[in-house]
Structure 1
Amino acid sequence: MSHVGVTLGVMAAIPALVEPTMLRWARQTQGYSVLAAARKIGIDEDKLAACEAGYERLTIEQLRKAAKAYRRSLAVFFLDTPPEGIDTLRDFRRVAGSESGEWSPELHTEFRRAQQQRDWLIDLLESEDTPVPTAWSLPSSEVARLSDAQLASRIRSHLEGLAGSSGPTTSDRYAHSSFWVSTLEDSGVLVLHTSGGGVATQEMRAMSLYFDRVPVIVLNGSDAVRARTFSLVHEYVHLLLHADGLCDMVTTTRATNPNTALEARCNAVAAEVLMPAAAVRAATESLRGRPVDEWTYERIASAAVRFGTSAEALLLRLVNLGLASRSLYEQRREDFQRAYVEQERSAATGGDFYRTKARDIGKGYVRRVAGAHRRKVIDSFTAATYLDVKVGQITRLAEAAGFASASGR
């Protein structure tokens, strides 16, 4: 064996002098059981349990594998205590009949990716001495005194004012999504999507991270387009209320505690933003003149397209406006959801790596990074790191995000 091989072998066997609490924290915040983590590291379950209890030590090589499995930097394991403010998010989900649930490793990964991208974006803005956009925000005192309907009207007029145009009424569901996403991005919100279908919609539909500067909204990339549009506005309401969290968009019919009360308000405001009462009444006038047995999925879906929402969302909106009965909604809900899923599946097309990547990490974010790269504010390696692609893929990703056309070059 060569001297190099002997040296590497010796280094690999050196005990890693880390705090046991850091090992346990890193595993738990990634959502792994001891058994699952041990398998990823390649050691016995009892060995990992002993290391977390302080009775044994991982080797440096095993610690490297643990860092990779937990998606943490090696340096974090040598801290005395876990960093403050990391991996804390209010959980509004009602999983398995409760108000919260365990996080999967994939959800932990997406949460930390959102934090990392925000840090990179702020670093980029500060390195260019560029003011951080804050147009997304509304005065807290104003938000607090407005009713749900008033707040929705204020939000719609505010965002349409920022966009310089009214929200779309086209049947193109992507046009609705693009309008609201791009408007929020331009106003200073970092909008991301979970990638690779790793997080199930049953676990998370969307989440928001509140900050005065560059708040974040993460949508589930596996969700249907119209559902993502509603989730986007729902999470934006969370940000305006300074109440970030993890949401599942389960329909809330009554406020049984502060969490469900807040979710009910965010749902109500988002519904009014996307489906204003006057417009809903006008769009469904002929439908409401028909017997309820003629309120088919096709007819309601046809009326819903101008709002960029699903037939189920519009029917629920009619219920809340007193234009349809709750019993009708309960009878039709499952059928409408099933028909909607089938419709979305039949309309789905094959994915494109660059378009999907730009959507997942945010088109506005991609354009910011690509612009800084073009102006030589950051080098190619840094740009590729920020964009999570290879250096040779930067140009095509920027084009997919609309950077080339937007720059006119």
Structure 2
Amino acid sequence: MPQTIKIQIKPQVLQWAREEAGYKAEDIATKLHIPTERYSNWENDGKEIPLGMLKSIANYYKRQLAVFLLPTPPPKLKTPKDFRNLAVSQAGLSPDTLLAMRRAHKYLELARKILGEGYWINQYGWQREIVPIKSGLKKGIQVFDEKITEWLRGKLKITIDQQQKFFGYDDAFKKWRNSIERELGIFVFQFSMPEKELDGFCYAGDKPPYAIIINSDTFKPRRIFTLFHELAHIFKHQSGICLPDIISEKQDIEFECNDFAGKFLIPDTNVYPIKNIKDLGEVARRFKVSREVYLRRNFERRFVNKKDFFGILKELKEQPPPPKKGKKPGAPAPPILSKSIRGEKFYNLILDAVYNNKIDYTTASDALGMGFHYIAGNE
């Protein structure tokens, strides 16, 4: 009977990998079908780890096996600032969300490496055009002015009339996403994350490029709103984790970003008084926003009083959510799935880079989640 190969690693690396993946020791022990004490011993001394077990650990932590052989742990991932309600944020971040952050960070690092930091600084020259308006201050926080939403309309080249002609919410999200990537140079990624945990987050640190990351498990109207909520954070040079639907009165920045998104999607001149929920639904669909967003704009314009606003809002929340679309038979083609997750901008950047010998096929395959033959087939 062949002898089991056992590996010795630096215990600090194993602990680092677990914490970065968002697991507790008892969680991963359960997945490995071993006592928690046995796993904890590996994190204490790093000795006598069966190779098969280490491969399973690498799979759960979404790491290459070679990472566990490093002499010291790599730097911890810098997560965006948490702007969520305290009751939500105290629960921490799930493994799926932490994985999404790692992937987004990895994609941005690769984009910076391929084109250089100078390229991205030039891409974001538009930032000089939107220095936050200094005239209005709210508790010491610079607030947005309607001139910025008007500027953004022109920059994205989508008028309010064109917005109303989108072919449903799917088409609206796609067009807004592509326009933000094309005109502003901001990547828009989509990853599956727990719906009650967050709607999205963004990276807008000192080093460009920037990215908006959307929770693909939410409905399209919610994703559309999150796009512009996160864009408001980027305009303020803030990397942030957000759940715009659940905020408290003390969250000034989140209120401001919600206000920006609502006023951009539904300018004051396009807010019409609503009569009932049916009327609300029809108008919201026309502008490709959620009923809650259009209702709030009615309240802000004083077309609905406070009592009626909260009454209608309560009624909306009590209604069952619309059924999510069933998945089409068969898996989508890898290029289609890759573009859906990573966006047209990143997808095309990687293809251009591999064809111009800036990166190799292995790097491109890993970045796009596709086999070599799909990448070669696009040449």
Taking only aligned residues, the RMSD between alpha carbons, in angstroms, comes to: 3.3
TM-score (norm 1): 0.78
- Structure 1 stretches lacking a partner, 5+ long: 288-294, 399-403, 405-409
Change in Cα spacing, 1:156 to 1:378, as seen in structure 2 (3 Å) is same
Partner of 1:34: 25
Tell me the secondary structure at the aligned position of residue 77 of structure 2. Answer: coil
Give the structure 1 partner of residue 188 of structure 2. Answer: 191
Call closer, same or farther: CA 1:73–1:395 in 2, change over 3 Å.
closer
Aligned 8 A contact 1:151 1:269 in 2: yes
- Counterpart of 2:229? 234
**Does the residue aligned with 1:239 lie in a helix, a strand or coil?**
helix
- State the match for 1:114 in structure 2: 104
Does structure 2 retain, via aligned residues, the 8 Å contact 1:209–1:217? yes
Instruction: Give the equivalent residue in structure 1 for 2:170.
Output: 174
| Structure-2 separation of matches of 1:236 and 1:317 | 19
Give the aligned residue type for 1:121.
A
Counterpart residue number, 1:350 = 328
Does 1:277 pair with 2:268? yes
Say which of 8, 11, 25 aligns to 1:15.
8
How far off is 1:205 after superposition? 0.8
Aligned to 2:298: 318
What is the TM-score of this pair, normalised by structure 2?
A: 0.83
- Where does 1:224-373 land on structure 2 (aligned, <5 Å)? 224-252=219-247, 254-255=249-250, 260-280=251-271, 284-285=272-273, 287=274, 295-337=275-317, 341-342=321-322, 345=324, 350=328, 353-354=332-333, 355-373=336-354
User: C-alpha distance in 2, partners of 1:297/1:151?
Assistant: 30
Q: Deviations over 1:363-405 (max 9, x none)?
A: 2211222233445544444322221011233478x7xxxxx9x
Task: Name the amino acid aligned to 2:198.
Answer: M
CA distance 1:226–1:146, shift in 2 (3 Å): farther
Residue equivalent to 1:407: none
1:215 to 2:210 alignment: yes
**Residue in 1 aligned with 2:61?**
70
Amino-acid identity (%)? 21
Mark the runs of 5 or more structure 2 residues left unpaired by the alignment.
none
Question: Which of 120, 124, 127 is 1:138 aligned to?
Answer: 127
Partner Cα distance (2:109, 2:42) in 1:
32
1:204 is aligned, of 178, 198, 205, to 198
Aligned partners of 1:87, 1:261: CA distance in 2, in Å? Answer: 24
Separation of aligned partners in 2, 1:50 and 1:106: 26
Does residue 1:158 correspond to 2:151, yes or no? yes
Distance between the aligned counterparts of 1:48 and 1:84, measured in 2? 23
Report 1:21-60 matches (<5 A): 21-41=12-32, 43-54=34-45, 58-59=49-50
Per the TM alignment, residue 312 of structure 1 is displaced from its structure 2 partner at its CA by 1.4
Asked if the contact 1:39–1:45 (Cα under 8 Å) also holds between the matched residues in 2, the reply is: yes
